[in-house]
Structure 1
Amino acid sequence: MQYNKPPLTFQEQINLLQSRGLIIKDLDFAEQTLQRISYYRLSAYLHFFQEIDSSDHQYVPDATFEAVLNLYKFDKSLRMLIFNATESIEVAVRTQMIYHYSHDYDPHWYLNKSLFYDTGKHQELIDSITQYCQSKKVEEFIGHYRNKYTNPLLPPSYMALEIIAFGQLSRMYTNLLPSKTRQKIHTHFQLPNKFFISWLRSLSHIRNICAHHSRLWNIQLGESPKLPDRLKGKWLSREVLEDINQRNSRKIFTGLCCIQYLLEGIYKVKIKKMKIGKDRG
């Protein structure tokens, strides 16, 4: 089927929305909004205000342009909060991997293919790090290592792992063979390894949604994180777990529960100190 829809002017976009029953109280404001937020981006929120199974995309009674925009703004705020949260988790995971493997092996441990399941995937990671380190534009610390040291060719893990994305970090951890060192990492986050791997994959997906400014509110996760019945830290009640499984475990709420659990574990010392300080004051 050939796509032949013509582009619409801002005024034509407004006319289309009105013809479908969307209430627009301030036409000038609506046009200004569409000039900075594309119609297609807003359509990710517009369809939640439409009649179910409406063949001509009619909006429910009393649906307003302002209500759609408020939902868009809410989702933007939610993305900023979750992006900040996933950054904290990513940094903490990276720190634990670097620390424990560097102390149990050596600073260049990530070059040791015997530590990984799939040597092909390991080589892909090394190739990606090598390509970056040999490029013209690199982080200052990479340039310093490259100019001062010749062996090993690649920098130590506390530099190299800083330049890989969360998705690469997640796949790298998943590829690590079972060991006492790996156990130290997932134990630090109070999670069995299979759940830790599942959560990393899911949170990497959520982080990418936030980074690309896509809709986060009410999305279906591509891969739902596995939820244990119980954990060492403060976790969901059996009733909540049953409700999640009965309704839809792929909803973003599931991912947010995992984020909260990890953050409470990461910041437990900081929160405790702040509480003591407040009590003493």
Structure 2
Amino acid sequence: MKPYLSWQKQVKLMSDRGLVIEDEAECIRFLTTVNYYRFSGYARYFQIAPHEDNNDFYPGTSFNKIREIYYADEELRTNLLKPLSCVELMLRSHVAHIIGKEYGPYHSYLEEDFYVDTNNRQMIRDSCLHDIERSKERHIRHYRNDAGDNHNFDELPVWSAVEAWSFGTLSKVIEYGGQGSLADSVAASICIAKGGFASRIKALVYLRNRCAHYGRLWHHSVIDAGPTPNNVRKKAKRIAGQFGNRSVVDVIASLDDICVRGKVMDTSGKLLNPELPKLVKQYKNNSDFWCGLVNPKSPKDHKAHQS
């Protein structure tokens, strides 16, 4: 059981472990806005062997250096939310259009038979219904009675329903809807390669959720890494150099490809510019932050950041 530590004692603990703290007051101010535990997720990569309870920092490691990486990570999350949100909105539009045209705009998406015959078909249908039921939007409430305890969602058009679905639910509908053919139809509609399309969208959902909930991207291996097409990956590596298939950079390359091919626009009506070239221009390829993005490692591989 670890004891409670005030902000002042947290600073002293890091200092006792060898972290160079240039300005204690500024460090305390930082910790009042950023949880110590969150900050330690970045700091452990500069400690000798935290997995073996050796939490001492490599000589010369400074608080400011780690804080710069934290802020770079925060900036990247913020920058990625815009294209991720725009892709999500585009997908809602295409899914609604295709379901309405090919399967009928009413109740088809709430039928279990609409989804591919797997053990999850009822769960996916229930996810759609759950997201609709919890919505407080007027266009959804219109289909409830005055008491709010009954509904007639069979009359709810799909173009209204998709606006109530979470990005995760939307991804499941794309993957399993239309007896498994919806993903191909959506991919064709936005001029994206059909192979692995549904899995690529799952990876975007994963990345969006991690960005939205302030998850660390630096030295993070993506669990739901989508099968980024080889031609997309090769093109991205000509821009950024080598990167791991489960790195955040790989998902960014896939995101850029979808934005460009799908001609995704922002709220001002302008086509989105790819994010990867911006990253390459902003960070040196041998910097700690860049290395942690392209080649994520476990803190156990602690020699990677020895000062």
Q: Is TM (by shorter chain) over 0.5?
A: yes
Aligned pair in 2 of structure 1 residues 110, 20: CA closer, same or farther (>3 Å)? same
Give the secondary-structure state (helix, strand or coil) at the position aligned to 1:236.
helix
Aligned pair in 2 of structure 1 residues 204, 134: CA closer, same or farther (>3 Å)? closer
Distance in 1 (CA, whole Å) between partners of 2:236 and 2:161 is: 41
Amino acid in structure 1 at the alignment position of 2:74? K
Alignment deviations for residues 123-173 of structure 1 (CA, whole Å, 9 cap, x no partner): 3233344345445x6112111233599755452111112111111111121
List runs of 5+ in structure 2 lacking aligned partners.
272-307
Which structure dedicates a bigger proportion of its chain to helix? 1
Q: CA deviation at 1:18?
A: 0.7
Give the secondary-structure state (helix, strand or coil) at the position aligned to 1:43.
helix
Amino acid in structure 2 at the alignment position of 1:80? T
Give the secondary-structure state (helix, strand or coil) at the position aligned to 2:229.
coil
Contact 1:220 1:251 in 2 (8 A): yes
Aligned residues: 262
Other-structure match for 2:166: 165
Amino acid in structure 2 at the alignment position of 1:127? D
Other-structure match for 1:121: 120
Q: CA deviation at 1:75?
A: 0.8
Other-structure match for 1:6: 3
Counterpart mapping for 1:83-102 below 5 A: 83-102=81-100
Aligned pair in 2 of structure 1 residues 217, 154: CA closer, same or farther (>3 Å)? farther
Alignment deviations for residues 199-238 of structure 1 (CA, whole Å, 9 cap, x no partner): 011111111111111111231011322132336xxx6339
Distance in 1 (CA, whole Å) between partners of 2:151 and 2:8 is: 62
Contact 2:98 2:185 in 1 (8 A): yes
Distance in 2 (CA, whole Å) between partners of 1:175 and 1:256 is: 24
Distance in 1 (CA, whole Å) between partners of 2:152 and 2:27 is: 60
Other-structure match for 2:248: 252
Other-structure match for 1:206: 207
Aligned pair in 2 of structure 1 residues 19, 154: CA closer, same or farther (>3 Å)? farther
Contact 2:175 2:183 in 1 (8 A): no
Give the secondary-structure state (helix, strand or coil) at the position aligned to 1:51.
strand
Distance in 2 (CA, whole Å) between partners of 1:220 and 1:150 is: 42
Give the secondary-structure state (helix, strand or coil) at the position aligned to 2:162.
helix
Which structure is richer in relative contact order (CA contacts within 8 A, separation 6 or more)? 2
Other-structure match for 2:235: 237
List runs of 5+ in structure 1 lacking aligned partners.
273-281
Amino acid in structure 2 at the alignment position of 1:125? I
Among 76, 79, 83, the residue aligned to 2:77:
79
Q: CA deviation at 1:265?
A: 1.9
Give the secondary-structure state (helix, strand or coil) at the position aligned to 1:191.
coil
Aligned pair in 2 of structure 1 residues 21, 150: CA closer, same or farther (>3 Å)? closer
Other-structure match for 1:195: 196
Other-structure match for 1:277: none
Other-structure match for 1:278: none
Distance in 1 (CA, whole Å) between partners of 2:145 and 2:172 is: 30
Amino acid in structure 1 at the alignment position of 2:17? R
Alignment deviations for residues 237-258 of structure 1 (CA, whole Å, 9 cap, x no partner): 39659x75xx631111111100
Q: Kindly, what percent of the aligned residue pairs are identical?
A: 25
TM-score by length of 2: 0.75
Contact 2:192 2:258 in 1 (8 A): no
Other-structure match for 1:59: 57
Amino acid in structure 2 at the alignment position of 1:72? Y
Aligned pair in 2 of structure 1 residues 133, 262: CA closer, same or farther (>3 Å)? closer
Among 25, 30, 33, the residue aligned to 1:33:
30
Q: CA deviation at 1:120?
A: 5.1
Alignment deviations for residues 78-131 of structure 1 (CA, whole Å, 9 cap, x no partner): 101112221111111121111012012321231243332136533323334434
Contact 1:14 1:30 in 2 (8 A): yes
Q: Which structure's CA Rg is the greater one?
A: 1
CA RMSD of aligned residues (A): 3.0
Distance in 1 (CA, whole Å) between partners of 2:102 and 2:238 is: 40
